[in-house]
Amino acid sequence: MISVDFLVTSLIVVLIPGTGVLYTVATGLFIGKRASFVAALGCTLGIIPALLASSFGLAALFHTSAVAFQIIKYLGVIYLLYLAWQMWKTSSPLNVNSKGSQSTYLNIAIKGFLLNILNPKLSIFFLAFIPQFVPANQDGALSHMLILGSIFMALTFAVFVIYGFLSGSFSLFIVNSKRATMAMQRLFSASFAGLGLKLAFTER
């Protein structure tokens, strides 16, 4: 039985803006609604490794091994700073043909996927969060955790799609205004850099 507490808590967690929301919103603004949908899908799929790690106890490795945690963490920092640099160095890094292409959408999805893959805090979050809603005497605790994680992913995808579609509504204005494009891209670049630095100083 899925508790209301789990659904409400999960929704609150998902609604809080983070790297995935930032990436989806940026994609919606600079490319459009379809691309933001793909970004949301990529970010959501990036949750799967963390979910599996927590379900099978692998996330405990990040909690107990400082080396493993630091390696993944700094790979994530480097990737966030890379995204910040890519957005900063050119006036239109995300401006593509409005019709898009399979290769473009694939790249968008992969970037979103990597954002969550390279965040060790996500695995630890699942390790600490989901077990709270699994009864101690529950038979099939593993399957229960996977079900809860899948529901969390569904909420994440739904919320990200909403964020992306709302930002996509302003896409035409942003892309057609060089000044607005420059300002928004500088803002998102600084935000990615800030999140990267925040992750760099994050402890387990």
pLDDT tens digits, residue range 33-90?
899 999 999 999 999 988 887 777 655 555 566 676 677 678 778 877 877 887 777 5
Average pLDDT for residues 88-117, to the nearest whole number? 69
d(CA 175, CA 90): 14
Supply the pLDDT for residue 93: 42
Other Cβ atoms within 10 Å of 104 Cβ, number: 16
Contact 11, 155 (CB under 8 A): yes
Q: What is the per-residue pLDDT for 204?
A: 56
Give the distance from CA 132 to its chain's centroid: 23
Question: In sequence order, which residues have a C-beta less than 8 Å from that of residue 194 and are 6 or more positions away?
Answer: none
Q: Give the span between the Cα atoms of 52 and 132, in whole angstroms.
A: 16
Q: Which residues are within 8 A (CB) of 90 and not within 5 positions of it... i.e. 6 or more apart? A: none
Report the pLDDT averaged over residues 164-191: 74
Helix locations, the chain, DSSP H = 4-15, 19-30, 33-45, 47-55, 59-64, 66-88, 102-117, 120-129, 141-168, 171-176, 178-200
* Cβ-contact 148, 142 below 8 angstroms: no
pLDDT value at residue 108: 92
Q: Report, as an integer, the average pLDDT of 157-184.
A: 78
Nearest of 133, 138, 129, 147 to residue 5 by alpha carbon: 133
Residue 193: band (very low, low, confident or very high) from pLDDT cuts 50, 70, 90: confident
**Closest by CA position to 77, among listed 188, 200, 190:** 200
Distance separating alpha carbons of residues 88 and 54, to the nearest angstrom? 35
The token pair that represents 102 in the structure block = 């399979």
* Residue 182 contacts residue 89 (beta carbons within 8 Å): no
Task: Classify residue 193 by burial, with Cβ atoms within 10 Å: 0-12, 13-18, 19+.
Answer: middle
The residue whose two tokens read 């919320």 is 159
Average pLDDT of the chain to the nearest whole number: 77
Mean pLDDT, residues 143-148: 83
- pTM score > 0.85 for this model? no
What pLDDT digit, counting tens, does each position of 25-35 carry?
A: 989 888 888 99
The percentage of residues in the chain with a pLDDT greater than 70, rounded to a whole number, is: 73
- Residues present in the chain in total: 204
**Residue 162: per-residue pLDDT:** 94
- How confident is residue 110, by pLDDT bands cut at 50, 70 and 90? very high
- pLDDT given for residue 101 in this prediction: 56
8/70 Cα distance (integer angstroms)? 32
